[in-house]
Amino acid sequence: MSNTGLMPLPQATSWLKELKFYEREITSCERSLEEIVANARTPRDLILAEHFQNQFILQRYNLRRLKHQLKWLAQAPREAFQKLIGEVQFFIRLFKSLLQDFDHFMAPFFHLTALPKNNHPA
């Protein structure tokens, strides 16, 4: 594999689709968070809701930055693209952990059983 070759566009497209999936996940979580805030039982619930709201804002920003870089780097040397893929993979791991924490937080509000820590579908 040459470091000077260009990254095939299909691989960039695949990563962009995955990032769009996570963007939809954030939107879904934000909707759930609105319901939680409306039904918050304690001040701690509101504090945690604000924490998750801030995390979703931050992760949406990270997603947009990564999507922009992917589009640009799809035409860049393979080495630069591979570095960005590492960042995308890190984002995915971090976001899955955030989703697990959010599932545990919101489960009582929706009378759900939270998924086990390493069993989240995202």
Amino acid present at 97: S
Q: What is the pLDDT at residue 1?
A: 41
Structure tokens at 32: 């759930």
Along the 122 residues of the chain, how does pLDDT read in single tens digits?
444 455 556 777 888 899 999 999 999 999 999 999 999 999 999 999 999 999 999 999 999 999 988 888 777 777 777 888 889 999 999 999 999 999 999 988 887 776 566 655 55
Distance CA 54, CA 70 (A): 24
Count the neighbouring beta carbons within 10 Å of the beta carbon of residue 29.
Answer: 20
21 contacts: CB under 8 Å, gap ≥ 6:
122
Q: What is the pLDDT at residue 120?
A: 54
107 contacts: CB under 8 Å, gap ≥ 6:
113, 114
Count the neighbouring beta carbons within 10 Å of the beta carbon of residue 78.
Answer: 17
Would you kindly state where each structural domain of the chain is located, as residue ranges?
Answer: 9-110
67 contacts: CB under 8 Å, gap ≥ 6:
16, 19, 20
